[in-house]
Amino acid sequence: MKCPFCSSTQFKVTDKRNSPEGIRRRRECLKCKKRFTTYEKIERNELYVIKKDGRREKFDREKIKRGVLRAFEKRPVSIDKIDKFVNEIEEQIRKKGKREISTTIIGNLVSKKIKRLDKIAYVRFASVYQDFQDLKDFKKEIKEL
């Protein structure tokens, strides 16, 4: 590793903490005295998602985040809360210990968590996830809430 400012390989760790991204280390270059942060992340096995039509693709947490952001758009939920939400979903998926997981399982996990956080966001998410066709579908879901 090299200092991003002067390329020196001489530095010391001034602080070390666990974070959702892995291990966070605050470092100080011994040559130029500037500080920078590094993250050590655990490499995980590839996780594949089985789509409804049988196709397989690599798990992409950003896809979940985009869907959740759309559901919470203009709702009083912070980006930090959404990031935490997506991290929790990914952890739940990985704790299952499988290399492949269906979109149905992922969708159900997301739906349950959204429902607990915000009912409006839940109806938005459910309308796309459950493929609502008309107003009757919306009424039925709202009645169940």
Give residue 131's pLDDT. Answer: 65
Number of domains, the chain: 2
Give yes or no: residues 76 and 137 share one domain.
yes
Across the range 68-86, mean pLDDT stands at 86
- Which one-letter amino acid corresponds to residue 71? A
Give yes or no: residues 15 and 75 share one domain.
no
- Which one-letter amino acid corresponds to residue 31? K
Give residue 5's pLDDT. Answer: 95
Task: Tell me the two tokens of residue 137.
Answer: 């579908």
Give residue 104's pLDDT. Answer: 85
Give residue 31's pLDDT. Answer: 96
Domain extent at residue 74? 48-144
Give yes or no: residues 84 and 129 share one domain.
yes
Give yes or no: residues 68 and 134 share one domain.
yes
Q: What are phi and psi of 98, to 5 degrees?
A: -100, 155
Give yes or no: residues 56 and 105 share one domain.
yes
